Structure 1
């Protein structure tokens, strides 16, 4: 895809991976609309020259409000990046069902609803793209975050089916699978983390190349292990 001149919507684009994706897309000549919930981060995005729309995508009203705000707008690229993880580990206590519901809505329900709601706008463009950001944990789950892993695996499955449906159309479908990235969501996690800058550049490079998947950083290794010995990948990742 030629990124210059395109209008891109990046959900969760005021912080973390989404913010860096937005910056990289703009650097390559795109007009970028970002969404977020935090007023200070939204103001920061506007001060940096981004169009920023307040939207809580873990709530269906927030998704519908965003779609209304975009009515009639030319959207060439939809980047479903917004996501969250919630504690769901019975070894540490009883999980909060409300947190689980927000995770499912934000990580899975919102991307699907945005794709449905923006499909006609995307179809009207001469070249369009849907980018769904999943995770290396969509390939093999960890024991400590089953709801998060389930939503990302479900979004991966949806993405593969969507790609098959849209084959031969002007809409390309890309799945981005980051590893552990140095963001606020992983602040308490030890070990090796990829920088948000490197992650974002890898994803936007994959967009420019019309790739089907962006296996970022160590996810390349995990993907290779999954192809050769899926059982080994599951054994490695379950305790992650």
Structure 2
């Protein structure tokens, strides 16, 4: 897809990978509508000239409010990037089940609900794209992040099935699978991290080159290991 002149709805664009995506997509000539929850970050992005809709995607009301805010807009790209990481490690104590509910909704239910709500808008465009940002951990889980891994794995399988359903419709479905990226979400992770700008660059590149998947950074090696032996891949990721 040539991004010049396209309108992109990108969730979670005030921080991390999303913020880098917003700037890079604008450089490509796209009009970007993004979302955020933190008032200070929302204000900062608006000061940089971006349209930002305050939206909490951890519940149905927040997603529906976002859909209402973009009603009637000619959206060419839906980029489901927003995600939440929740502490859910029984080795540390009893996890907060309510916190898990919000993360499950933001990571899995929200992309499904947004796709459903915007599918006819996307069908009406000459060409359109749905991009779901999952994770290398959608392939093989990390023991310390079971809820995050479960939601990203769920979104991966949703994406695979959705791509098959939409064959021949003019809607391209892309999955982006980042590795550990240098964002606030991973501040307590001691692993080597990919710069967020580079991760965003590879996602944009996948959109421009009409790829089905963007296996980014170390996710490429994980995909190879998983194809040879799923048990081998799990033995690596479960330690983290």
TM-score for the superposition, normalised by structure 2: 0.99
Would the aligned equivalents of 2:10 and 2:34 in 1 still touch at CA under 8 Å?
A: yes
1:40 shift after superposition: 1.0
Report the Cα distance in structure 1 between the residues aligned to 2:23 and 2:53, rounded to whole angstroms: 16
1:191 shift after superposition: 2.1
1:39 aligns with 2:39: yes
1:218 aligns with 2:218: yes
1:89 aligns with 2:96: no
Q: Partner residue of 1:187?
A: 187
1:56 shift after superposition: 0.3
Instruction: Please list every run of at least 4 consecutive aligned residues from structure 1 whose deviation after the TM superposition is greater than 6 angstroms.
Output: none
Q: Partner residue of 2:200?
A: 200
SS state of the match for residue 130, structure 1? strand
Q: Partner residue of 2:130?
A: 130
Q: Partner residue of 1:116?
A: 116
TM-score for the superposition, normalised by structure 1: 0.99
Q: Partner residue of 1:160?
A: 160
1:38 shift after superposition: 0.8
Would the aligned equivalents of 2:180 and 2:191 in 1 still touch at CA under 8 Å?
A: no
Query: Is there any run of 5+ residues in structure 1 with no aligned partner, and where?
Result: none
1:229 shift after superposition: 1.4
Q: Partner residue of 2:232?
A: 232
Q: Partner residue of 2:70?
A: 70
Aligned residues: 240
1:239 shift after superposition: 0.9
Report the Cα distance in structure 2 between the residues aligned to 1:169 and 1:62, rounded to whole angstroms: 29
Report the Cα distance in structure 1 between the residues aligned to 2:144 and 2:39, rounded to whole angstroms: 31
1:103 shift after superposition: 0.7
Query: Is there any run of 5+ residues in structure 2 with no aligned partner, and where?
Result: none
Report the Cα distance in structure 2 between the residues aligned to 1:22 and 1:131, rounded to whole angstroms: 14
Report the Cα distance in structure 2 between the residues aligned to 1:197 and 1:106, rounded to whole angstroms: 23
